[in-house]
Structure 1
Amino acid sequence: MTFAPLPPVRACLFDVDGLLINSEDIYTEAYNNILHSCGKPSLSWSVKARQQSRGRQGTLRLITWCDVPISPEDWESRSRAQRELFRKTELLPGVPKLLSTLSRHTSPPVYMALASSSGRSLFDVKTSHLPDIARAFPSQCRAFGNDAEMAGKQKKPSPDLFLLALQRINDTLSPGDKRVRPEECLVFEDSIAGVEAGRRAGMRVVWVPHPGLLEVCSGREESVLAGTTEQDVGELGPMVPEGGQENLPERVKSRDAWAELITSLEDFPYEDYGIHPSS
């Protein structure tokens, strides 16, 4: 099958947790604290893969699968009590150079936006000590799951958050500037739900999963990249056991070329997306 050529990327939309910063490991630490206090074992990636980035629905899944005798509200309360853990976040490999290049050193310029399911206040806790993020993303081009414009809308895997981020980019353009279309956007995501959200928004996607997530998704990479993992089958179904997987792929493209798996943001292939670094 032959597909039409894709347009050059004019805007890059970024998730935050697990993509720019190592906060997914900190979330796991916080969740394990709750599970251990209830006499439960540590969280596995085969469970976390189904919870990640899905808001209340994800919390309900986690509580059900881990058989924890607490309510979603109690879970969220216990999670919030550990928010100070997130002051130790660090940028993931390749992030400083990628953000600097995309936000200041491309010709023509690339527009930048954040699209995080997390709330604004927790985002500040996670990133206030990381100036690379503040420099890369204009304050008016940041969209969060608890923004007023998200009222009545859905979080990932719904496309609503990415469409809001794109709207905010277009709202900053001068009257004579050409508006950015969804197909001219490149979404950077680490979660399965985020990949599906980007695909459903009509955008191209780069999936940069945590090694633990990539391991349990072994053999299902193309399904994730197609954005149909949940849409087609409802639940993810059995996943491979953790541990012992070898020769995991470093780069895989979807059949239609709209999505790609890469294992690190280091040495990002700008030219493949029509992005031209100027220095």
Structure 2
Amino acid sequence: MSRFLYKASRCPLIWSSSSLLLRTSSSPSAPRTSSYLFTTATAIQRPHLTASKPLAVPSRASNPKMTVTQHIEVADAPALDPTLPIKALFFDLDDTLLLNPTIINLDSALKDHGAEPYPSNQHAMIAGLTAEGMVEAIHKWAPHATYDQLMEAYARWRTERMGECVIREGVKDLITRLANAQTVIQTTEVKKPAPSRTVSNRDITTPHSTLNNLNKVDIAIVTNSALERAAAKLKPYPELTSVFSSPDQLVTTSHELAKSRNVKSKPHPDLYNLALDIVNKARKARGAMELLPSECLVFEDSIVGIKAARAAGMRVIWNPVDNVKKFCEKLVNGDPDCTVGLDKHDFGHHVEDHKKWWNGQDPWVEVVQTFENFDLKKYGIEVISAEK
């Protein structure tokens, strides 16, 4: 049974045998949150109901002193169930599928206003945030410039350098395998959902490969980027656009369903919950069984993305970019220089998250150095050619 939760910092967490309760802090300085009660059965059967009202993030216009970076914790993961193979793959876009000159753009925005480059270790802390979150962070580094001035400069550099995005090592190989072959799970039969879904009715016996559309592994991109910007980044890469060809395979906060649900960006789990709901709708239409969150594998580059995926109850492949890798290596080796200045900007929880997941303390998160020759069979996925 997979139980999962996310919560705001300073919000007390209360466990019971049958339910979980997230209680908001009474402190006026604490982030505004929503309180809700849900049973463990609800968390498994309809995960988006447990996260439909996550931490409320006010707009900067309504609160100029807002802090975009937020601390979301994930409850300890239960043991992995080896009988549940992966049946859906979700990919982050920026710095997961495509490498972006984000650090250069942020430092260029600072330089435009006479500020020094943002420290490398702090760049590692803000990886994966929305543009608003990253500019909020560098604004603290250069308070003499206004937030709006820095945002304008960053947006300009981001647009000018969009052509410098490059496909990440191993991505073409992985996506090509998914595009040029039928990807299926190993199963004995296709089972219709029971009226009351439980893990027990998904037991798998002796596996065999079946070339069957009902068993197709679903894939989608799930990103904090705006829809138009994400599409523009993908356009030069037909090896990606040919696979992620459906509008429902590009899940952003601009998605039609996201707008109706008031979906929040990562590190909130909303986008991954939405992606799973979209996949399950498509699976139901073709007569396939709907998926549990634990049957989804997420590819991410940042702690922000990992938090979102784990809070949604999904498994994660973490392939951090070089800057974050170097930070993690220094961190676990006890290099005191790698944390200089982080305490001044409330990055302490990010440091612990990097250490925890880099050290493999969460069995639901696996660190990889490349996507080259990624072993799909390890996750119960088999690529079957058309001739087979």
TM-score by length of 1: 0.81
Q: How many Å apart are 1:257 and its aligned residue? A: 2.2
Among 236, 253, 276, the alignment partner of 2:348 is 236
1:276 counterpart SS class: strand
Q: How many Å apart are 1:156 and its aligned residue? A: 1.2
2:316 counterpart SS class: strand
Aligned residues: 254
The question of whether the paired residues in 1 share the 8 Å contact of 2:253 and 2:263 is answered with: no
Taking structure 1 as reference, are residues 276 and 150 closer, same or farther at Cα in structure 2, changes over 3 Å only? same
Among 232, 239, 246, the alignment partner of 1:125 is 232
Distance 2:257 2:293 in 1: 19
Q: How many Å apart are 1:93 and its aligned residue? A: 1.0
Taking structure 1 as reference, are residues 126 and 37 closer, same or farther at Cα in structure 2, changes over 3 Å only? same
Distance 1:79 1:10 in 2: 38
1:73 counterpart SS class: helix
State the partner residue of 2:117: 42
Distance 1:237 1:176 in 2: 43
- Residue type at the aligned position of 1:15: D
Among 127, 146, 161, the alignment partner of 1:85 is 161
Distance 2:120 2:272 in 1: 25
The question of whether the paired residues in 2 share the 8 Å contact of 1:162 and 1:201 is answered with: yes
The question of whether the paired residues in 2 share the 8 Å contact of 1:107 and 1:275 is answered with: yes
State the partner residue of 2:269: 159
The question of whether the paired residues in 1 share the 8 Å contact of 2:80 and 2:363 is answered with: no
Q: How many Å apart are 1:252 and its aligned residue? A: 6.4
Q: How many Å apart are 1:140 and its aligned residue? A: 1.8
Distance 1:149 1:188 in 2: 22
Taking structure 1 as reference, are residues 265 and 218 closer, same or farther at Cα in structure 2, changes over 3 Å only? same
Gaps of 5+ in 2: 1-76, 186-215, 333-345, 352-356
Q: Does 1:62 find its partner at 2:138?
A: yes
**1:130-181 superposed Cα distances (whole Å, 9 cap, x missing partner):** 1111112132221113335444332111111111111222222225221122
1:254 counterpart SS class: coil
Among 62, 74, 79, the alignment partner of 1:3 is 79
For the pair shown, the structure with the greater C-alpha radius of gyration is 2
The question of whether the paired residues in 1 share the 8 Å contact of 2:112 and 2:153 is answered with: no
Among 316, 321, 329, the alignment partner of 1:205 is 316
- Residue type at the aligned position of 2:242: R
Taking structure 1 as reference, are residues 181 and 97 closer, same or farther at Cα in structure 2, changes over 3 Å only? same
Question: 1 or 2, which has the higher strand percentage?
Answer: 2
Q: Percent identity?
A: 24
Q: Which runs of 4+ in 1 moved over 6 A?
A: none
- Residue type at the aligned position of 1:235: F
Q: Does 1:16 find its partner at 2:93?
A: yes
Distance 2:383 2:331 in 1: 33
State the partner residue of 2:221: 114
Among 143, 146, 155, the alignment partner of 2:251 is 143
Distance 2:236 2:301 in 1: 22
TM-score by length of 2: 0.60
Among 355, 364, 368, the alignment partner of 1:258 is 364
Q: RMSD value over aligned CA atoms? A: 2.6
Question: 1 or 2, which has the higher helix percentage?
Answer: 1
Distance 2:258 2:269 in 1: 11
Among 248, 256, 281, the alignment partner of 1:171 is 281
**1:168-208 superposed Cα distances (whole Å, 9 cap, x missing partner):** 22222225221122111000000110011111010000000
Q: How many Å apart are 1:255 and its aligned residue? A: 4.1
State the partner residue of 2:148: 73
State the partner residue of 2:11: none
Distance 2:327 2:226 in 1: 28
